[in-house]
A and B are shown apart, each in its own frame.
Chain A
Amino acid sequence: MMSEAPVLSVRDLEVSFATKRGVARVVRGVSYEVAAGETLAIVGESGSGKSVSTLALTKLIPIPPGRVTGQALLGDDDLVPLSERQLLEYRGTRVGYVFQDPMTSLNPVHTIGRQLTEHTRYHLGLSESQARERAVELLEQVGIPAAESRLDDHPHQFSGGMRQRVVIAIGLACDPDVLIADEATTALDVTTQAQILDLVRRLQRERGMAVVWITHDLGVVAGIADRVLVMYAGEVVEQAGVDTLFDLPRHPYTVGLLESLPVLGDLERRDLTAIPGLPPPPTHLPEGCAFHPRCAFRHDERCATERPPLTEVAPGHSIRSFYAVPEEAARAASTAARLPEPGSDRTTDPEGRDDARSGRT
Chain B
Amino acid sequence: MSEEPLIAVDDLEVHFPGGPRSILRRGSPPPPVRAVDGVSFEIRRGETLGLVGESGCGKSTTGLALLRLVEPTAGSVTFDGRDVRALSRRELRTLRRRVAMIFQDPYASLDPRMTVGDAITEAMVIHDLHGDGKGRRRRAGELLERVGLHPDVAERYPHEFSGGQRQRVGIARALAVEPDFIVCDEPIAALDVSIQASVMNLLAELQADLGLTYLFIAHDLAAVQHVSDRIAVMYLGRIVEQADREQLYRSPGHPYTQALLSAIPVPSPAHERERRRTLLEGDVPSPMDPPSGCRFRTRCPEVFEACGRVDPALQEVAEQHHVACLLHGEVGTEVPRSEHRDAART
* Interfacial residues, chain A to chain B (CB-CB below 8 A): 45-46, 159-162, 189-195, 197-198, 216-223, 225, 242-243, 246-247, 256-258, 260-267, 269, 271-275, 278, 334-336, 339, 342-343, 345-346, 348-351, 354, 356-358, 360-361
Contact = CB atoms under 8 A, between A and B. Distances in A.
A56 B271 CA distance: 34
B220 to A, nearest CB: 8
Contact of B54 (A190, A247, A271): A190
19 contacts: A191-B260, A191-B280, A193-B265, A194-B279, A194-B280, A217-B265, A223-B266, A256-B194, A260-B196, A262-B227, A263-B267, A264-B264, A265-B249, A267-B246, A271-B201, A346-B250, A350-B251, A351-B327, A356-B337
Given A197-B265, A334-B268, A339-B268, 18 more contacts: A191-B260, A195-B279, A198-B277, A216-B193, A219-B267, A220-B265, A222-B269, A222-B271, A242-B269, A260-B196, A262-B196, A263-B267, A264-B249, A273-B197, A339-B271, A342-B273, A346-B251, A354-B276
Contacts of B327: 351
Interface in B175-231: 192-198, 200-201, 204, 219, 221-223, 225-227
Nearest 4 A-B pairs (CB), nearest first? A219-B265, A274-B198, A262-B226, A260-B197
B279 A189 contact: no
Contacts of B271: 222, 336, 339, 342
A interface SS class: loop
Interface string B75-90: 0000000000000000
A45 B264 contact: no
Contacts of B197: 260-262, 272-275
B162 interface: yes
Nearest to B318: A350
Given A45-B194, A278-B162, A190 B264 contact: yes
A350 B317 CA distance: 10
B288 interface: no
Contacts of A217: 265
A143 to B, nearest CB: 9
Contacts of A225: 269
Contacts of B11: none
A275 B327 CA distance: 45
Given A222-B269, A342-B270, A272 B200 contact: yes
Contacts of B196: 260, 262
Contacts, number: 167
Nearest to A271: B201
B266 A219 contact: yes
A335 B267 contact: yes
Contacts of B265: 193-194, 197, 217, 219-220, 222-223
B153 interface: no
B270 A261 contact: no
Contacts of B227: 262
Contact of A243 (B270, B281, B283): B270
Contacts of B251: 346, 348-350
A273 B280 CA distance: 34
Contacts of A271: 201, 204
B55 interface: yes
B96 interface: no
A140 B233 CA distance: 33
Contacts of A260: 193-194, 196-198
Nearest to A258: B267
B314 to A, nearest CB: 17
Nearest to A273: B197
Contacts of B337: 351, 356
A272 B192 CA distance: 14
B245 interface: yes
A346 to B, nearest CB: 6
A274 B194 contact: yes
A222 to B, nearest CB: 5
A189 B54 contact: yes
Interface string B271-287: 11111111111010000
B270 A348 contact: no
Contact of B193 (A161, A218, A360): A218
Contact of B283 (A162, A219, A358): A162
Nearest to B299: A191
B250 A345 contact: yes
B261 A267 contact: no
B263 A190 contact: yes
B277 A159 contact: no
B259 interface: yes
Contacts of A192: 283
Q: Which of A217, A274, A348, A349 has the most chain B CB atoms inside 10 A of its CB?
A: A274
Given A195-B280, A361-B277, A219 B270 contact: no
Indicate the member of B193, B246, B252, B283 with the most A CB atoms within 10 Å: B193
B278 A274 contact: no
Contacts of B226: 262, 266, 269, 272
